[in-house]
A = this chain, B = another copy of it.
Amino acid sequence: MADRPLAGRTVIDLTTALSGPYATLLLAGLGARVIKVENPLTGGDSSRNNSPYVGAGGLTAVRGEGDDMSVSMMLRGRNKQSVTLNLKHPRAREVLAGLVRVADVMVDNYSAGVTDRLGVGYDWAREVNPRIVCTSVSGFGAQGGPGSGKAMDTIVQALSGVMMTAGAPGEPPVRFGLPVGDLVAPLYAVIGTLAAVLQADATGHGQYVDVSMLGALTSLVACEPFDAYEKLGLPSRTGATVPRLAPFGTFPAADGWFALCGPTDAFARGLFAALDRDELGADPRFATRDARVAHAAELHDLLAAWAAERPLASVLDLLARHGVPAAEVRDPVAAVRDPIVLSRGEVVPLAHPRHGRVEDLHGTGVPIRFSGADAALDQPAPALGEHNNEIYGGLLGYSDDDIKSLADDGVI
A→B interface (CB under 8 Å): 3, 5-6, 8-9, 18, 22, 26, 30, 52, 59, 61, 71-72, 75, 122, 140-143, 145-148, 150-152, 154-155, 157-167, 172-180, 183-184, 187-192, 194-199, 201-203, 205-212, 214-216, 218-232, 236-240, 242, 248-250, 252, 257-259, 261, 316, 320, 323-336, 338, 340-341, 344, 346-347, 359-373, 375
Contact = CB atoms under 8 A, between A and B. Distances in A.
Contacts of A370: 192, 195-196, 207-210
A219 B346 contact: yes
Contacts of A332: 161-162, 164-165, 221-222, 224, 226-227, 236
A78 to B, nearest CB: 12
Contact of A215 (B172, B226, B328, B367): B367
A327 B155 contact: yes
Residue with the highest number of chain B CB atoms closer than 10 Å, among A30, A71, A154: A154
Nearest to A159: B327
Residue with the highest number of chain B CB atoms closer than 10 Å, among A61, A237, A252: A61
Contacts of A335: 159-162, 218, 221
A330 B164 contact: yes
10 contacts: A154-B259, A158-B330, A165-B178, A196-B372, A211-B367, A215-B346, A218-B346, A222-B363, A222-B364, A236-B332
A364 B150 contact: no
Contacts of A75: 223, 225
A166 B177 contact: yes
Contact of A158 (B173, B219, B259): B259
Contact of A240 (B172, B194, B258): B172
A190 B184 CA distance: 13
A367 B219 contact: yes
A218 B338 contact: yes
A332 B230 CA distance: 10
A111 to B, nearest CB: 12
Contacts of A249: 154, 175
Contacts of A364: 219-220, 222-223
Contact of A199 (B3, B164, B184, B205): B3
A331 B236 contact: yes
Contacts of A333: 161, 226-227, 230, 236
A408 B290 CA distance: 36
Contact of A175 (B190, B231, B240, B336): B240
Contacts of A366: 219
Contact of A166 (B159, B176, B325): B176
A150 to B, nearest CB: 4
Contact of A329 (B173, B222, B229): B173
A198 B6 contact: yes
Contact of A191 (B180, B187, B224): B187
Contacts of A52: 225, 228-229, 232
Given A218-B336, A232-B52, A363-B225, A175 B250 contact: yes
Contact of A148 (B26, B226, B323): B323
B150 A325 contact: yes
Contact of A198 (B59, B179, B197): B197
Contact of A331 (B164, B207, B240): B164
Given A192-B368, A328-B159, A344 B22 contact: no
Contacts of A166: 166, 174-177
A71 B386 CA distance: 53
